[in-house]
Structure 1
Amino acid sequence: MGQSPFEQNPSDPPSRLQRSLGLGSAVVVGVSAMVGTGVFAVWQGALERSGRWLVAAVVLAAVVAALNATSTARLAARHPEAGGVYAYGRIYLGRPVGVVAGLVFIVGKTASASAAALTIGLYVWPQRTTQVALGAIVIALVMNIRGLVRSTRVAAVMVIFVGIALGAFVISSGLTLATRSVESSPSIPGAEPMGILAAAGLVFVAFAGYARITVLGEEVKNPRRTIPRAIAVSFAMVLFAYVLVAFVVLSADRAGVTIGPAALDDIARALAPSWVVTMVVVGSVLGAGAVLWSLIAGVGRTVFAMASRGDAPRFFAAAGRRSRIPIRAEVAAALATSVLVIAGGLTLALVVSAAMILTYYSIAHVSALRLAGEGGSASRAGRVAAVLGLVGCVGLVAGLLVWA
């Protein structure tokens, strides 16, 4: 007789939630959380701050994100439980630090979710951005309540289409740019060290989606093996796409294309056929929608984990009897996201998200240093990654604060 979907693999650590995600599903979760808001929303702000050093800013953001991934993967493999860095900080640095990590994550990811919703509004109907964003939040919440496995399959379709849309955008825009005479701007505002750091901080928001995998530690099969592999695969795929898009954005700016908040739409309308413009708009909806879905789930599960330990109201510690989904916590996450959409704009949401999430990862690196202190063959490499990652996070936050 087959195993019940609610039974656990004997080799898996104990879990209060259903372990339903394999490697493929976990990669989809990570990619869908990364390829979405960032690739469609960060370019105007990043370009203004870094100018001709945009690609360098993307690479710097990727390096910091990779260091963060190293520390979080090691921590998640050792402690595969819901809550991510909130749980790790609580274990290694004490309850107060863990609570701070959880609160920072909730604020940062809620800001990221509002940025995702606003991105959908900007690309679909700029004159009604807020209304469209609120509608997107409702849809994402309904998808979560219907069940994680079903929503993961939907996210897989979204990721595939977004990949095709980005490919069409890069190829068509790149070919058009190749036929033009493009001269480098003699003076581009923001092309100084702090500007590059600030731009990297904004772009970092786009890479931060792999944290979505770590907070699902209690829902991943064989987490000690699956989580590190899923983070590595999803990160490599997204890095490749972002570097290509960054080159196109920078080349388009040098060619005189006016780039606004909906950067890819502006570039596509100036350089690509109309069918590519349509694909970009649809891709932004699907990509940012997948991010919105994953972030509401991630924030909800962090609230669930905190409530389960008494660090948040116990009201949010309940999970559905059949679905085993923390519905109350996810509804609260959706409501908080809606408040930010109404109260702020895209730039504010991105800056708050970047600063909070970088602070969150700073706590992860300090926790990883404690983990490395426990010994083991990988301790030295883990310690180096944690130190470099901590320095990188602090540097990017400093850049954001200077430019803010």
Structure 2
Amino acid sequence: MPRRLGPARPASVPDVHPSAPGPSLARRLRTRDAVAVGLGSMLGAGVFAAYGPAAAAAGPGLLLSLLLAGLVALCGATASAQLAARYPTSGGTYVYARERLGHWPGFVAGWGFVVGKTSSLAAMALTVGAYAAPGRERPVALLAVAVAVALGYRGVTRTAAAARVLVVVVLLCLGVAVAAALTGPRTAVAVPWAGVPGGGWYGTLQAAGLLFFAFAGFARVATMGEEVRDPARTVPRAVLLSLGAATLVYAVVGLVLLATLGVAGTAASSAPLADAVAAGRWPWAGAVVRVGAVAASAGALLALLAGVSRTTLAMAREGDLPRWLAGVHPVHRVPHRAELVVGAVVLLVVAVGDVRGAIGFSSAGVLVYYLLANLSALGQPAAERRFPRLLQVVGVLACTALVLTLPPGSVAAGAAVLLVGVAYRLLRLRREARRAATGRA
């Protein structure tokens, strides 16, 4: 049953999480740090890799798909920001759904996020490898994961500082890439504002679900709520600022790709931005795109690793994952065991996975996660609300529609992994019930 809620917590919260086995995480992130983490999460592999499969699904409806993905992200962002102000601790929607909807919805949210985003981490690392050393993607990707884990282990301020630098590099490189692409030949941009677009409504919705992969880092800072100064004020501001900036960047890049490569060219390309630049008159700009792709994916890798490890920490605190993972380093104040275990799993996925498969699988898990975020925020009382309830109604309906229209293989894989998590929790609860019965006897 959902827990009954008392008055909203004040912005000042205790330094030790109530269910933590030791010290809590340290509140070291300011607004600019949080924005950098959120923006770094969104300007990752998506801006370089997601447009191809999305254009193949949507056809001329690509821009409409981008708008739909942005709308779903806005709904999720307002829900996450509102909930983070009420529950300023690590874990994001895992905590929110557990508090407001019950233990099982919380577990589904947390499990979907950890599994889906582990796949995203592999996609980010493989994108780093593909652009940094074509032909030797996997060794470089493995090295990128190892470096990200090492930085994360040393403290969240190092993660935020690296994210700020990488975001600046990415924005500069994207600016050069857009200018270079516009020096080449142009094509007409199809904007289907009315009627059914060429890819059909199903294809448009499927593409929106795939593009949501690119936006899904908007609430990364909410999963790190225990490390943000003045979270009731900082988290909502950082979530909305980073989402707004990322949406503008994605819209500009999408328009440029359609204006230079067209729908067919974008759909056929595994690196559409690089192809658009190659068709222009600045041949040297190809190297800039490569640098930008490496920096973007590395920044997202850093920020996302922090988010997944914090959700793992929250689940371990409640016993939904092995409690050993709830350890917090006494000096660096990071969930060091969770960082290491998540890093090890990502290394394994990198060794056998591919980028395009990871995008669909990740989108399935993360859409379920934000469906539960919207449901959690939907029932908040007026005193806790910061945004219209209608946004959460739209978010629930949109997340449901997008997850059902993802490629069938992605939906099936997501459902199978979800069932594995449910089975794990059922076995754990049964084992605990037997131990309790034995103790009473």
Shift in Å, 1:181:
5.9
Shift in Å, 1:367:
0.8
Q: Say which is worse superposed, 217-226 or 49-58, in terms of deviation.
A: 49-58
Shift in Å, 1:116:
0.6
Task: Describe the superposition over 1:214-264 as per-residue Cα deviations: whole angstroms up to 9, x where unpaired.
Answer: 001100000000011001111111111100100111122229757522222
Shift in Å, 1:150:
2.1
Shift in Å, 1:342:
2.2
Unpaired runs of 5+ in structure 2?
1-9, 16-23, 192-196, 411-441
Q: Distance in 2 between matches of 1:382 and 1:105?
A: 25
CA contact (8 A) 2:11 2:231 kept: no
Shift in Å, 1:403:
8.1
Greater than 6 Å deviation, 4+ residue runs: none
SS in 1 for 2:284: helix
**Count of residue pairs the alignment pairs up:** 388
Is 1:105 aligned to 2:113, yes or no?
Answer: yes
Q: Which residue of 2 aligns with 1:357?
A: 366
1:262 maps to which of 254, 271, 275? 271
Q: 1:356-395 alignment to 2 at 5 Å?
A: 356-371=365-380, 374-376=381-383, 378=385, 381-395=387-401
Is 1:150 aligned to 2:131, yes or no?
Answer: no
Q: Which residue of 2 aligns with 1:6?
A: none
SS in 2 for 1:305: helix
The amino acid of 2:12's aligned partner reads: D
Q: Say which is worse superposed, 102-111 or 120-129, in terms of deviation.
A: 120-129
The amino acid of 2:345's aligned partner reads: A
Query: Residue 94 and residue 272 in structure 1: after superposition, are their counterparts in 2 closer, same or farther (change >3 A)?
Result: farther
Shift in Å, 1:317:
0.9
Query: Residue 114 and residue 222 in structure 1: after superposition, are their counterparts in 2 closer, same or farther (change >3 A)?
Result: same
The amino acid of 1:351's aligned partner reads: G
Q: 1:157-306 alignment to 2 at 5 Å?
A: 157-177=165-185, 180=186, 182=188, 191-254=199-262, 257=265, 259-306=268-315
Q: 1:51-130 alignment to 2 at 5 Å?
A: 51-130=59-138
Is 1:342 aligned to 2:317, yes or no?
Answer: no
Is 1:14 aligned to 2:20, yes or no?
Answer: no
Shift in Å, 1:93:
1.2
CA contact (8 A) 1:27 1:231 kept: yes
CA contact (8 A) 1:26 1:227 kept: yes
Shift in Å, 1:25:
0.5
The amino acid of 1:29's aligned partner reads: V
TM-score of the aligned structures, taking structure 2 as reference length: 0.84
Q: Which residue of 1 aligns with 2:403?
A: 397
The amino acid of 1:54's aligned partner reads: L
Task: Describe the superposition over 1:193-233 as per-residue Cα deviations: whole angstroms up to 9, x where unpaired.
Answer: 11111111111111111221100110000000001100111
Is 1:48 aligned to 2:56, yes or no?
Answer: yes
Is 1:36 aligned to 2:44, yes or no?
Answer: yes
Shift in Å, 1:172:
1.9
Query: Residue 28 and residue 191 in structure 1: after superposition, are their counterparts in 2 closer, same or farther (change >3 A)?
Result: same
Q: Distance in 1 between matches of 2:291 and 2:318?
A: 41
Shift in Å, 1:11:
5.4
SS in 2 for 1:273: coil
Shift in Å, 1:152:
1.2
Q: Which residue of 2 aligns with 1:333?
A: 342
SS in 2 for 1:80: coil
Shift in Å, 1:289:
0.3
Q: Which residue of 2 aligns with 1:7?
A: none
Query: Residue 361 and residue 255 in structure 1: after superposition, are their counterparts in 2 closer, same or farther (change >3 A)?
Result: closer
Identity %: 39
CA contact (8 A) 2:41 2:220 kept: yes
CA contact (8 A) 1:123 1:262 kept: no
Shift in Å, 1:124:
2.2
Q: Distance in 2 between matches of 1:304 and 1:147?
A: 15
